[in-house]
Structure 1
């Protein structure tokens, strides 16, 4: 037989220590802030670049490398934490657009349209429709062989340096591919 005392013990509500939970939460938040504080510091640099407070022409190699490293860190954190992948990240209001402006600052002369990239990559580009060329580049992006960028002044872009490197890789792949004998 269950007594009133037994029922009271079973139905007794748990009591939580608010101060202990606040302290534990604060410690977790502090650890996260410390983990990502280097990224927060980088945001200021990227915003100054995006606002044209730092001239590309006046930047030395160390400054350009610092901006490039900051961009990579911020993009890595934002895309990992928001689950938003490139190229959609470049369109995000705020940080995505800041990072897109920094990409233009870093690589302005090195950005190519998808069609221009296809002309660099494919010998048969002159014989194909522009939509086919664009689709080929999108396929390479989907495979992870090229990185897409957004330049708000223009259409989607890729880096000339990446395209040239990929062309060399594709040529090496074609040379190493086994030669098939034609049955005819």
Structure 2
């Protein structure tokens, strides 16, 4: 190998452990997110996820955890990713542009009391920001998942989780870890004995 694998390996793990370690002091910021998810689902509402790139993959991943299962068999829960319908994504982007692709779907699909969770590692993704704005207008509980400097999206959302890193990969790792935690909280509330 031409690169110094061992140094690269240690650098990645050090960054990861630093970010994950900082999560230990963030439970007060994260607990309201679990309450929002659980409150919406118990009221027969849904959790709607959206984001770009790796955040789109996280949106789909977390929606699948709700609909199918996280760890245990239980009733299906209403999770929806706005990143999966290629006909809507491409038609809207072609006709109106990409900035409003999530806002348009929120307008069509969101109901008051739903949770709308916009994921943006930078916290500045225009289409995520507009999606959160549209969700606020629809009466949704809005949540932003961002990196540590995600002020724009976090300011638009009623609740937010700012991953304690400015490195995209580490932010995504924190998002998925907290997303899994929220799935676990919800699933335990629906556990079938």
Specify the TM-score bucket, using the shorter chain as the normaliser: under 0.3
Higher strand share: 2
Q: Which has the higher contact order (CA 8 A, sep 6+)?
A: 2
Q: Which has the larger radius of gyration?
A: 1
Higher helix share: 1
Q: Normalising by structure 2, what TM-score?
A: 0.25
Q: Normalising by structure 1, what TM-score?
A: 0.26
